[in-house]
Amino acid sequence: MAEPVEDIPVEEPEAEVEVPKKSKKKDKQDRANYPLKVNYCGVCSMPFEYCEYLADYDKCKRWWEEHFPDFFERAMKIGDGVDGEGDDPKKRQKRGGRGVIKAKKQVEKSKISVGRVTRNKKKFVTVVKGLETHGVSLKEAAKLFGRHFSCGSSVSGDEIVIQGDFVEDVMVLLVEKYPEIEEDDIEDIGKQKR
């Protein structure tokens, strides 16, 4: 049989350690009163903190100023101090705005060279170079050639490669479709090898 277990005495602490209590005034300031009362905008139906991220921010500001003027003033004072915007509008990027727009390089107009390159023994491709100097988008021109000649057309580097022998047709099409290109600007370089 099992022997009865003796009661083990529990040691009690000799002295209690006093924890300094926070002052009641500071404690009340740190705590939020629940349930929280959140005011919603009448324009966008969002809390004030989220209105600035929406498109109608100016309308929201006017609505908050009319309906909650004291809250609006406090929020604007806090917002001005935190953002650090100041008077310089250049520091802050506008939402949805474009970044820095790069200026296009001015390139002298050079001759447009159109040539025929042998792909296989009996197959050719037409190569067009120099279109970008006349302000023509290579991608759009390649699409135009592909649709007009019902063949494959692609941009590779600074030239357009058209599948098939279309040298004379390309020269005529360029003058018709792009008024900034004159007939004297187009040069036929004939047969070439890659």
- Domain match, 187 and 125 both: yes
Q: How far is CA 179 from CA 76, 95, 175, 176, 182, in A?
A: 55, 39, 6, 7, 7
Q: Determine, yes or no, domain membership for 136.
A: yes
Taking only the tens place, the pLDDT of each residue in 38-47 is: 888 888 888 8
- Domain match, 129 and 61 both: no
Supply the CATH number for residue 117's domain.
Answer: 3.30.780.10
Residue 148 binned pLDDT confidence (cut-offs 50, 70, 90): very high
The rounded percent of the chain whose pLDDT value lies above 70 is 69
Range of the domain at 78: 34-83
Q: Determine, yes or no, domain membership for 25.
A: no
Residue 103 binned pLDDT confidence (cut-offs 50, 70, 90): low
Do residues 124 and 191 lie in contact, with contact meaning Cβ atoms separated by under 8 Å? no
- Asked, as a colleague might, if the bond just before 9 is cis with ω within 30 of 0, I would say no
Q: Determine, yes or no, domain membership for 170.
A: yes
Q: What is the pTM for the complete model shown?
A: 0.45
- Domain match, 73 and 117 both: no
- Domain match, 127 and 185 both: yes
Do residues 128 and 137 lie in contact, with contact meaning Cβ atoms separated by under 8 Å? no
Q: Determine, yes or no, domain membership for 124.
A: yes
What's the pLDDT score for residue 133?
Answer: 85
Rg (CA), the chain: 38
The most distant pair of C-alpha atoms in the chain lies apart, rounded to whole Å, by 119
Q: Determine, yes or no, domain membership for 100.
A: no
SS3 70: helix
Q: Determine, yes or no, domain membership for 44.
A: yes
Task: Write out the two tokens for 132.
Answer: 């970008």
- Domain match, 75 and 122 both: no
Q: Determine, yes or no, domain membership for 105.
A: no
